[in-house]
């Protein structure tokens, strides 16, 4: 049995992603670029997936490019910068680095 790359539960014989995380991925794709962060989280909750699993999903970084949360935050930040007339673009790696440095400062 394989384990889900997002939450770590059984995902099936050859599947990399479990059913709940597939629902969350589909919802992320649907909401991406269309809603604010609060609405985004509400949309994930509306899938019926337990809150604890949503948190694991958002923290997951299966590709090593930044967690799902970092990717969404980077996209929203880039859109905000564009609307404000600022040049540049945030990447998930940038957001991950910023988040990690803030977490280190808290300790």
Rg of the Cα atoms in the chain: 15
Q: Where are the beta strands (DSSP E) in 1-107?
A: 2-3, 10-12
Answer yes or no: do 32 and 71 share one domain.
no
What length is written for the chain?
107
The pTM is what?
Answer: 0.83
Is the Cβ–Cβ distance between 66 and 96 less than 8 Å? yes
Query: Which of 60, 80, 99 marks a domain boundary?
Result: 60
Answer yes or no: do 94 and 46 share one domain.
no
Answer yes or no: do 53 and 21 share one domain.
yes
- CA dist 79 → 14, 16, 38, 64, 103 (Å): 37, 31, 16, 23, 25
Answer yes or no: do 43 and 89 share one domain.
no
Answer yes or no: do 44 and 85 share one domain.
no
Question: For residue 107, what are the domain limits?
Answer: 67-107
Residue carrying the six token digits 């019926």: 48
Answer yes or no: do 17 and 43 share one domain.
yes
pLDDT tens for the chain, 107 residues long, are: 799 999 998 888 888 999 999 999 999 999 988 888 889 999 999 999 999 999 999 999 998 888 999 999 898 888 888 888 888 888 888 888 888 888 888 87
**What's the structural domain count of the chain?**
2
């Amino acid at each position: 049995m394989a384990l889900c790359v997002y939450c770590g539960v059984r995902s099936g014989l050859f599947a990399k992603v479990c059913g709940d995380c597939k629902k969350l991925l589909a919802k992320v794709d649907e909401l991406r670029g269309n809603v604010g962060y609060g609405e985004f989280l509400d949309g994930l909750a509306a899938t019926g997936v337990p809150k604890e699993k949503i948190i694991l999903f958002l923290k997951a970084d299966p590709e090593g490019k930044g967690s799902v949360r970092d990717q969404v935050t980077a996209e929203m930040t880039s859109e905000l910068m564009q609307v404000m007339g600022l040049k540049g673009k945030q990447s998930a790696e940038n957001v991950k680095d910023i988040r990690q440095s803030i977490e280190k400062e808290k300790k």
